[in-house]
Chain A
Amino acid sequence: MNNFLLPALTLWQREIVRFLRQRSRIIGAFGQPLLFWLVLGSGFGHSFRSPAGNGAGGYTEYFFTGILAMVVLFTAIFSTFSVMEDRKQRFLQGVLAAPVPRPAIVLGQALGGTTLGLLQGVLLLAAAPLAGVPLSAAGALAAVAVMALMGFALTSLGLLFAWRIDSTQGLHSIMNLALLPLWLLSGAVFPAEGAHPILALLMRINPLTYGVAALRRTLYLSRPEAVTGLPGLEVSLLVTIAFALAAFLAAVRTAERSAG
C-alpha cells in the first residue's frame, strides 16, 4: 500500500489541487464545452437531421453525447500538458528519483486527468434535459461510469505521448493529429450510418466509437429503442475497458523506458 497506492494517490491529489489553483484552466475547461454545445448545437440543429432518429431533439440532442466525449477528451489533452510542464519544471525528476514504481506514477497522472474530465462531464450531464435527452437516475450513474472509463483510456493515451515528446509544440501537433480525429470519427459528431464507406470502416475500428456508443446507450438506458445502428452496450463496454487497459499499459511501458 505505502509503496504503490500512497504515491499514486498523492500525485492524483496534486493534479486536482493544481487544476483548482489555475483559474484560467477552470474557465477554459468548463466554458469551452458549454460554448460548443450552444453554438454548434443550435446552429446545426436546423440543417441536420439525425438518421438514427435519436429522439425528437434533432442534432442538438445527437451532438450532446459527442460534447460529453469531447469534454473528456480535452481534459485528457490538458492533463498531459501538465505532465510535460512537470518534466520541464523538473518536478517529475524528483518523483522519478523517489522509490516509486513507474506504474504508480502513471496511475496517479491518469487518475488526475480522469477525475477532471469526469468533474466537467458531470456538470455538463446536468444539462441533458435541456438537450432533450431523457436521463434516468440509473442512466446518469451508468453514464458517469462510462465517462470515467473513457477518461482513463484517453488520458493514458495522452500520457503515452507526453512521456515521449519533449516540446509543447510537438505534443500539440501530435494531439491534434491523433486525438482529434479519434473524436471526430467516433460517432460523436455524425453517425456511421450513411457515412462514406471508408469513414464508416474507420469508425468501426476506432476504439473511441465504442466508448461513445456505450455513453449514448447509457444516456438512453430508459429508452433503448431510441438508439439504433450502434454496437451493443456489452460489446461497447468490453472494448472500452480493453482500450483503457491497453493505453494504460502502453503509457507505463513508455514511462519505464524514459528516464525523465
Chain B
Amino acid sequence: MRTAVIGAPALEVPALEVEGLRRSFGERVALAGVSFRVRQGETFALLGPNGGGKTTLFRILATLLRPDGGSARVFGLSLAESPAEARRRLGVVFQQPGIDPKLTCLENLIHHGRLFGMRGAALRAAAAAQLERFGLAARAGELAETLSGGMQRRLELAKALLPGPDLLLLDEPTAGLDPAARLDFGAELERLRRERGTTVVLTTHLMEEAERCDRVGILHEGRLVALGSPEELKGSVGGEVILIQTGDPAALRERLRERFGWESLLLDGGLRVERPGAHALLPQVIEAFAAEVRSITFGRPTLEDVFVRRTGRRFDASPKEGAA
C-alpha cells in the first residue's frame, strides 16, 4: 500500500467510497442501497449473477449514470459534484469494446490521450510505451479491427491506462476471452498492481476471477450480501460443504436431521449441508443412505457457497446477452 511511508492508513482517503447508492429503472430496483469502501492499492471484485446490479453500479462509478440517491467518491472527489476531476483519476474499461476499429492501435491511444489533455511528443512517447508494454508495438500502425479478441482487450487496457489513472474500473474484463487470454489478462492486472500500485475495481460473474482479488463484494438483487476477503468469506461458511443428489430430498432431509443432527438446505432438487469436520461422518452417511443417494460430493467452501449461504439461491452465472 502507498501509505506505508506515511504509516497512517486510518487517515488515508479511500480510493473509492460508496454510500447508500440507490437506482431504479421504473419499477425495477437495480440498486437498493449499496455501501462499501476500497482502499488505495487494493484489488476489489464486485461478484454477482447477471441482473444483480453490477452493471448499474459500474455505470454509476464510470460517471455515465446518475444514482437516485446515495453518493460515490473517488479519492474523496464526489462523482456528483466534481465529475470532471473524478474522471481524471479514473480509467474505465467497458465490457463492450470501446476502441475504434477504423483507427490504428496508435491512433486509438493518441485520440484517447488528447481527451485527457495530453498532447505532442509526450503523448506520442506515452502511447508508444503503452503499446510496447502490452505487446502491441508491432501492430501500432494496423487498424484495430484486424486484432484478435485478446489483443483488442489488451489495447482497451492500454488505452484506459494511458492517462495514468489511479483507479481502474473494469466491467467483466475477461468476458468472451478464451482461458489462455484470461490468464494473460489476470497476469497483466497483477503486474499493474505491483508496478504502479493502481487500485482496481472489477465486476465479474466468475468465481476464479473474484478469488484472485484482495476483497470481494457479492451483489444480489441490488444489495451487497457479503463483503470481505475471499478467505474471510469462505471462512464464514461452516467449514465443509456436502452436496447430495437424491430422488426425494425432503424425506432425506428429515432423516439426515434425525440420524446425524445435520441441518440442510433444499437446493435445485438436492440437499446442501455445511458442517465443520463433515468429512469424518461422510462414510456413515453414505452407508446409511446408500439406496437413496444418487450422488454425493464433498468440498471446501467456495465463493459460490458463500453466495448460496447468504441468498439461499444458486449462483446463476449464465451470461445474458445484450444487457446494457
Query: Chain A, 91-123, contact with B by CB distance < 8 Å: what is the 0/1 string?
Result: 101111111110000000000000000000000
Q: Are A97 and B117 touching (Cβ within 8 A)?
A: no
Task: Using A18-B103, A91-B98, A259-B66 as known contacts, say yes or no to A97 and B90 having CB atoms under 8 A apart.
Answer: yes
Tell me the smallest distance from the CB of B92 to a CB of chain A, in Å: 4
Chain A residues with Cβ under 8 A from B90's Cβ?
97
Query: Chain B, 59-74, contact with A by CB distance < 8 Å: what is the 0/1 string?
Result: 1001111100000000
Chain B residues with Cβ under 8 A from A13's Cβ?
111
User: Which residue in chain B gives the minimum CB-CB distance to A166?
Assistant: B324
Say which residue of B96, B143, B159 sits within 8 Å of A90 (CB atoms). B96
User: Which residue in chain B gives the minimum CB-CB distance to A2?
Assistant: B117
Tell me the smallest distance from the CB of B175 to a CB of chain A, in Å: 13
In the complex the two chains form, what is the Cα distance from A91 to B115 in whole Å?
Answer: 12
Tell me the smallest distance from the CB of B244 to a CB of chain A, in Å: 45
Query: Chain A, 9-43, contact with B by CB distance < 8 Å: what is the 0/1 string?
Result: 11101100110011000000000000000000000
Task: Please tell me if A173 contacts chain B, counting CB pairs below 8 Å.
Answer: no
In the complex the two chains form, what is the Cα distance from A101 to B92 in whole Å?
Answer: 17
In the complex the two chains form, what is the Cα distance from A14 to B102 in whole Å?
Answer: 9
Q: Are A98 and B101 touching (Cβ within 8 A)?
A: no
Which residues in window 96-125 of B have CB below 8 A to A?
96-103, 107, 110-112, 114-117, 119
Tell me the smallest distance from the CB of B142 to a CB of chain A, in Å: 12
Pick from B47-55, B80-88, B234-242, B262-270 the stretch touching chain A.
Answer: B80-88
User: Which residue in chain A gives the minimum CB-CB distance to B61?
Assistant: A97
Task: Please tell me if A139 contacts chain B, counting CB pairs below 8 Å.
Answer: no
Task: Please tell me if A89 contacts chain B, counting CB pairs below 8 Å.
Answer: yes
Tell me the smallest distance from the CB of A15 to a CB of chain B, in Å: 11
Q: Are A260 and B64 touching (Cβ within 8 A)?
A: yes
Q: Are A98 and B103 touching (Cβ within 8 A)?
A: no
Task: Please tell me if B94 contacts chain A, counting CB pairs below 8 Å.
Answer: yes
Say which residue of A3, A9, A18, A94 sits within 8 Å of B98 (CB atoms). A94
Q: Are A6 and B114 touching (Cβ within 8 A)?
A: yes
Q: Are A89 and B101 touching (Cβ within 8 A)?
A: yes
Chain B residues with Cβ under 8 A from A158's Cβ?
none
In the complex the two chains form, what is the Cα distance from A90 to B97 in whole Å?
Answer: 6
In the complex the two chains form, what is the Cα distance from A169 to B98 in whole Å?
Answer: 23
Q: Are B115 and A7 touching (Cβ within 8 A)?
A: yes
Chain B residues with Cβ under 8 A from A93's Cβ?
62, 64, 92, 94, 96, 98
Q: Are A97 and B119 touching (Cβ within 8 A)?
A: no
Count contacts between A and B, CB distance < 8 Å: 81
Say which residue of A2, A18, A94 sits within 8 Å of B102 (CB atoms). A18
Interface residues of B toward A: which range?
20 to 34
Chain A residues with Cβ under 8 A from B159's Cβ?
94
Q: Are B117 and A259 touching (Cβ within 8 A)?
A: no
Q: Are B111 and A14 touching (Cβ within 8 A)?
A: yes
Q: Are B85 and A6 touching (Cβ within 8 A)?
A: no
In the complex the two chains form, what is the Cα distance from A72 to B111 in whole Å?
Answer: 26
Say which residue of B62, B92, B114 sits within 8 Å of A10 (CB atoms). B114
Chain B residues with Cβ under 8 A from A259's Cβ?
59, 64-66
In the complex the two chains form, what is the Cα distance from A195 to B310 in whole Å?
Answer: 74
Most chain B C-beta atoms within 10 Å of own C-beta, residue among A10, A22, A93, A94: A94
Most chain B C-beta atoms within 10 Å of own C-beta, residue among A14, A95, A101: A14
User: Which residue in chain A gives the minimum CB-CB distance to B63?
Assistant: A97
Chain B residues with Cβ under 8 A from A260's Cβ?
64
Which residues in window 241-256 of A have CB below 8 A to B?
none
Q: Are A7 and B64 touching (Cβ within 8 A)?
A: no
Chain A residues with Cβ under 8 A from B88's Cβ?
99
Chain B residues with Cβ under 8 A from A22's Cβ?
102
Say which residue of A6, A21, A90, A98 sits within 8 Å of B112 (CB atoms). A98
Chain B residues with Cβ under 8 A from A7's Cβ?
114-115, 117
Chain B residues with Cβ under 8 A from A98's Cβ?
87, 112, 115-116
User: Which residue in chain A gives the minimum CB-CB distance to B85?
Assistant: A99
Question: What are 14 inter-chain pairs, A to B, with CB distance below 8 A?
Answer: A2-B117, A7-B114, A10-B115, A14-B111, A17-B107, A18-B100, A21-B102, A90-B98, A91-B99, A91-B100, A93-B62, A94-B94, A96-B63, A97-B63
Query: Which B residues have a C-beta under 8 Å from some C-beta of A?
Result: 59, 62-66, 84-85, 87-88, 90, 92, 94, 96-103, 107, 110-112, 114-117, 119, 143, 159
Besides A13-B111, A14-B107, A93-B94, 12 other A-B contacts (C-beta < 8 A): A17-B102, A17-B103, A18-B102, A22-B102, A94-B94, A94-B98, A94-B115, A96-B64, A97-B92, A259-B64, A259-B65, A260-B64
